[in-house]
Amino acid sequence: MTHTRRQFIGTIGAATALIGAPSILRAQAQGTFRIGALCPVTGSGSPFGSGMQKMIIAAAEAVNAAGGAAGRKIEIVSEDTQTSPQAAVLAAKKLIDVNKVQAVLGTWSSGVSLAVVPLTNDANIILMNTSGAPALSVPPANAKGLSYRFQATNDRFGRAFAEICEKEGFKRPATMAFNNASGVGNTEGFRKAWEAKGHKVVESVVYEPNQPTYRSELQKVLAANPDVIVTGSYLADTTIIMREWYQSGQPVKWVMPGWAASPDLVKAVGPDVVEGIISVDSVSNENAPSYKAYDEAYRKATGQPGQSNVYAAMTWDMVHAVALAIEAANGTDMAAINAKIREVSNPAGQQVYTYAEAKEALKKGKINFEGASSVLDFDQYGDVTPDFGVFFIEGGQLNRRYVVKI
């Protein structure tokens, strides 16, 4: 059997034509508003990405069940960022130009959001992310005001950490940060806020991701004899750090972001190790009816409770915010929709929690959509300003003691 180059190229050509055809047909559909779900299905964001994507789809179903937005059905096209800026840019370009999406929702890591935002700005469409990097708020990234952030900025997390340390009476804090925009943003935000209060940080360590051990970094921090260590870390590295710290036997308190000090961490290292750790997270709007609707959808789609994935609650809210803005703008003109996003989410107005309810209320007057992830009020930079819940891990349970407002 011989194979020629011509045959090979011919096969590739035929395959390309075959794949190309349906996408051209798809791009013709009328009467729909197409949204791109660009979530980290694989890579380091994978514990959250699938759930985020499923909630975008579920929220679109809820919108469509209530008759769509401005008479149009919401259609979702999904792509995977692979949690890599390179791959995300290619995927975003495909969503924007081939699928003609009019909004891109669900980018997770800061690097990915920063890489994708030039493309969405070029196309004059909305980007909604769950990233923490402060750079996303201002030009050049958000030069056109089309980018919205559903997660508290790392700066805000840092300020909340400083409030908590002061309230708990800590005197000698040290910091440990995972070296990416989000991890360092947390601890730098803390340092700024803490020094503004006239105190000092005794030691700051930034560590590289994906190490089998963090013993030397940990020793450096512990050598400064801190009474509390504030981290900007993730689950995998925190698991290792916790084990190694427990072995060291040196008593110290920990303040961590909620995505690191989660029930999964308790499961991974055992309740004895993590006893007394303070876990800080932006408060999901847990008592709101919108949270109940989200929780129900999340359980149905994944079999897990809604609180296991705070980012999924954010993507659920993203679809609601966009759909309500379309409904309020009564059309698909992007400038008009963008102008309505704050109007439907921020106060004043009638507080509403589900899409069907909001759509009805919108006929009568101004609404204020309260999301599942937060009350969803955007400032002039397109950032939400959530409150922070302070949880103490006690006997393997995360118990919320109080709420910090900044």
Partner 1 sequence: MLTYILFMLVVGSIYALLAQSLMLSWGLAGLVNLGLAGFFAVGAYASAMLTTWEQAPILVGVSVAVLAGGLAGLLVCFSTLRLRDDYLAIVTLGFAEIVRIVASNEVWLTGGTDGISGVPVMIARDTGVWFHLGTLLITVAAVILVYVLQRRLLASPWGRALRAVREDQTVASVAGKSIVRFKAQAFSLAAAIAGLAGALYGHYTSYVAPDQFQPLITIYIFLAVTAGGNARPAGAVLGAYLLVAFLEATRFLAEIAPGVTALQAAALREIAVGIGLVIVLTLRPDGLLPERSQKAPAS
**Footprint on this chain of partner 1 (rule: CB under 8 A):** 3, 5, 8, 12, 15-16, 19-20, 22-24, 27, 39, 41-42, 46, 49-50, 53, 78-80, 82, 84-86, 89-91, 93-94, 96-98, 109-111, 114-115, 118, 122, 133, 135, 139-141, 179-181, 184, 206, 208
Q: Is the preceding peptide bond at 21 cis, omega within 30 degrees of 0?
A: no
Nearer to partner 1, 115 or 255 (CB): 115
Residue 5 C-beta: closest distance to partner 1, Å? 6
Nearer to partner 1, 15 or 196 (CB): 15
Describe the strand order of the beta sheet including 228-232 as a list of residue ranges. Answer: 203-207, 173-178, 228-232, 253-257, 278-282, 388-394, 397-404
Residue 41 C-beta: closest distance to partner 1, Å? 5
Residue 341 C-beta: closest distance to partner 1, Å? 22
Alpha helices in 123-205 (DSSP H): 154-167, 181-196
Residue 118 C-beta: closest distance to partner 1, Å? 4
Residue 115 C-beta: closest distance to partner 1, Å? 5
Residue 104 C-beta: closest distance to partner 1, Å? 14
- And the tokens for 132? 């923490």
Nearer to partner 1, 260 or 344 (CB): 260
DSSP symbols for 216-233: HHHHHHHHT--SEEEEE-
Nearer to partner 1, 115 or 358 (CB): 115
**Strand pairing class (173-178; 203-207):** parallel
Partner residues linked to 35 by β-bridges: 76, 103
Nearer to partner 1, 90 or 403 (CB): 90
Partner residues linked to 399 by β-bridges: 392
Q: Are 18 and 59 in contact (CB under 8 A)?
A: no
Nearer to partner 1, 36 or 68 (CB): 36
Nearer to partner 1, 20 or 396 (CB): 20
Gap between the Cα atoms of 195 and 24, Å rounded: 57
Residue 96 C-beta: closest distance to partner 1, Å? 8
- And the tokens for 19? 């794949």
Q: Are 53 and 301 in contact (CB under 8 A)?
A: no
Q: Are 384 and 378 in contact (CB under 8 A)?
A: yes
